[in-house]
Amino acid sequence: MAASVPPPAKRRKEDPTPSPLLPAAGWSALPPDLVRRVADSLLATKYLDCYMDYRAVCSGWRAATDDPRSDATDPRFRPRRWIVLDEVFPSQGKMLLLNTDSGRFLHRELPLLNDHHIVATTRNGYLVLADKSPPHAASVLNPLTGVVIRFVAPVPSEVGSAAVVFFDHASLALTLFCDSSHNIYTACRDKIGFFVQEVPGPEAYYDILRKALLLDGVYADMFDESTFEGVVDDLCSLLHEVVMFFSGGLPDVNDLKWFPLLGLDSHMLLVVSTKGSTFVFKKDIKIGKLVALDNINNYAIFIGHQRCLAIDVDKFPGIEANCVYYTKILGLSAHICKCNIKDRKVERISEAAEFVKQGKQFVLVVDRPFTIIHLLSSYTINIPESQLALQQIP
């Protein structure tokens, strides 16, 4: 018997009634309180760039949400855990950013860069700029919101490319570092000039303080609540503990390379490299001493000649957990190495050198990084020169 043929399907008539989820007037007619709740959820998850795109949908949504330009010191509108990868992917008026928490890349077009010199980038993604025309007044650009914080003080021509922005309630301060003189320059928004501070003690103390404040470090968050001398004393005390752990004495501090950072379950860690080995320490509050760790769970740490960062390997495929990735400089080239924290086993990522030195910078041998490991290592080994400082060179 022939198989029975089902009757032809009846075409359903479209229901002219709009979806109850969509107002008759469209998305722009959503109630303001609902629009604001969605916006607040974006800010709570630190998706500041998505918040800005959200506000750009229509005038009604902008009216229902807070404008970042209304208060530049509002902590909700500060970039968090963003790094600027301009030295790897340079382009006129554009910046490549990476969020080290989520692993998201963001290519941002910033027309303001065409009219300013880039002096430095900060640990959370701010850009420190200087007017191209004298007296080269300083300003700070938030690349996620487009908000510009202008300063009265001109940028000193001798400063390098390292900077940090401090917020303290309604005030805001900018700190710049000069590697040649080992001086630190600080200015508030309404001051006519930068206040200069010289780091006391051995020259290596300047490098220690610079790393502690510039990197993803706990001291950059605590600096507002302490005096300059207090931060230096605290860091020197930690340095003494590190040296005592290794030798029981106080040898030359230049024998140690260390990187204070915060980001692993909100603990302050110290990454110390000495005599071919890499150690990760945590401050044990109960006993008041540094303790060497053999496990940092699902994290990995990248350290370089200039900077360091900690990442969750779940967000960065191809990176091994519980390891420290670092660059080993050998003359005019550099290798990327990986050290397992548990067994201290060290291995190179590849036999050939990944970087060659050109001027003051180490550049990748290839035109573009092959892996995320190359990209993050390039970020940690270099800090771009201040464009203003380069303009001053005859």
pLDDT given for residue 218 in this prediction: 46
314-348 pLDDT, tens digit per residue, is 999 899 999 999 988 888 999 999 999 998 889 99
107-154 pLDDT, tens digit per residue, is 888 888 888 988 888 878 888 999 999 999 999 999 999 999 999 999
Higher-confidence position of 219 and 39:
39
Q: CA-CA distance, 170 to 167, in Å (whole number)? A: 8
Whether the pLDDT of residue 20 is over 70: the answer is no
Q: CA-CA distance, 393 to 47, in Å (whole number)? A: 40
Domain boundaries, the chain: 27-66, 75-198
How many percent of the chain have pLDDT more than 90?
25
Q: CA-CA distance, 112 to 129, in Å (whole number)? A: 9
289-322 pLDDT, tens digit per residue, is 778 888 888 899 998 878 888 889 999 989 999 9
Residue 58 confidence class, pLDDT cut points 50, 70, 90: very high
Q: Mean of the pLDDT values across residues 178-199?
A: 85
Q: CA-CA distance, 358 to 363, in Å (whole number)? A: 7
Q: Mean of the pLDDT values across residues 379-387?
A: 83
Q: For the chain, what's the residue count?
A: 394
Amino acid at 174: L
For the chain, give the mean pLDDT.
79
CA 270 to chain centre: 17
pLDDT given for residue 113 in this prediction: 86
pLDDT given for residue 160 in this prediction: 67
Residue 90 confidence class, pLDDT cut points 50, 70, 90: low
How many percent of the chain have pLDDT more than 70?
72
Among 378, 277, 382, smallest CA distance to 336 is for 378
Cross-strand partners of 184: 177, 197
Higher-confidence position of 73 and 55:
55
